[in-house]
Structure 1
């Protein structure tokens, strides 16, 4: 039986980078679609329905952050990997807050591009095939199959990556994880990644589930080590 090729939308206005991404992903057995600005990207998402979007931040007409925000506002949950330049630390954080699943900093290696795309697709595929039971801790209830989280009967909204991190924590209560372990387990990276992405997502989770983020009830910081989930 022939395996379906994943369709990747590359949104990049710099021709040399666009070509590098397209060739790299095609060699890795992905189908590629191209867009050079934010408006075209939004059209291609609706028309082509890609499996993943590689999205540059600095785009003509509509920038990458706004494209991400508009897609998530329309409840389009297609995984997004953002491309950022060095020094755009705040843009990375804002992008993650708007629902991006991951980011890469230019310049990047072709090997990293393919690995990141595979990791995100693998994670989202596993999420769709999950058959987990309801997870409960204190007033927090998570339904993995329905992608729903409730805190004392109030439904909370999470990005796909925040949801996956929370589920991983709740499936492993009272276990201490280093940032590298969380990066490997949740982001599926087989190489050294930027552990700051873990801290950003933990901070977002705390903002949503903790009554007092300075004295967290659920996600505790283990100084010099990492994090532990446990009521």
Structure 2
């Protein structure tokens, strides 16, 4: 990984350089805002991640972040700020930063944030998933579920099987009786409304990832449809 660190404190850069070296990462250190922006603008594809100080000579971090986003909307940006101000943090995230670290910081904290950000932003290899829709990936062997590229955890066996049944046939409407027969796989003499309870809990767990993908078809049952929903 090649990092561009725009930070006017040379001692901080020197310290981070040692930690980057331990991770076998390369880094370019620039101590002036305008010079740092110009370096990125000249060769934007050279950098895998940007560490950007908020207070810089020539151009401040907010300006640089906006300008970088006009060139590349996807390159990961972590802002470094001495201001422990919630408004600065919110503004930074709103104009395009992916994360922020408040000074003084531990180098290990920065390294951990970088690794977490790269993991979060790296597209998942969908080759290991046997159920794939517009925004959903399911591995039925490992029982891994990703919705809007976010991992969904703690699904119960019945919740998982309900999701698999619906997602295998997008837009198909399943009656409650059909879902009972398919998921429970044996005569079930309880109320069909048990499906409603399971679907409610399943929706709650999926909701942490984005818009609802399970739709109620009133008087009939349920269907899975994410074809018109955008990935976060």
Is TM-score (shorter-chain normalized) higher than 0.5?
Answer: yes
Bigger Rg, structure 1 or 2? 2
Q: Name the counterpart of 1:174.
A: 203
Q: Name the counterpart of 2:43.
A: 47
Q: Deviations over 1:179-201 (max 9, x none)?
A: xxx7xxx9xxxxxxxxxxxxxxx
Matches of 1:34 and 1:165 in 2, distance apart?
Answer: 37
Report deviation, 1:130: 4.8
Report deviation, 1:167: 4.8
Superposed CA RMSD: 3.2
Q: Name the counterpart of 1:111.
A: 108
Matches of 1:10 and 1:17 in 2, distance apart?
Answer: 10
Report deviation, 1:123: 2.2
Q: Name the counterpart of 2:24.
A: 29
Matches of 1:78 and 1:16 in 2, distance apart?
Answer: 25
Q: Name the counterpart of 1:123.
A: 120
Equivalences for residues 1-231 of structure 1 within 5 A: 6-45=1-40, 46-47=42-43, 49-125=46-122, 127=123, 129-130=125-126, 133-135=133-135, 167-168=149-150, 174-176=203-205
Task: Answer yes or no: is the 8 Å Cα contact 2:135–2:147 preserved in 1.
Answer: no
**Structure 2 portions without partners, runs of 5+:** 137-145, 156-201, 212-232
Give the 3-state SS of the residue equivalent to 2:28 in structure 1: strand
Report deviation, 1:122: 2.1
Give the 3-state SS of the residue equivalent to 1:99 in structure 2: coil
Task: Answer yes or no: is the 8 Å Cα contact 1:135–1:170 preserved in 2.
Answer: no
Give the 3-state SS of the residue equivalent to 1:174 in structure 2: helix
Distance 1:69 1:130, change over 3 A: farther
Report deviation, 1:93: 0.6
Report deviation, 1:129: 4.1
Matches of 1:16 and 1:30 in 2, distance apart?
Answer: 18
Give the 3-state SS of the residue equivalent to 1:13 in structure 2: coil
Report deviation, 1:84: 1.3
Give the 3-state SS of the residue equivalent to 1:108 in structure 2: coil
**Structure 1 portions without partners, runs of 5+:** 1-5, 137-163, 187-201, 206-231
TM-score of the pair, normalised by structure 1: 0.55
Report deviation, 1:101: 0.7
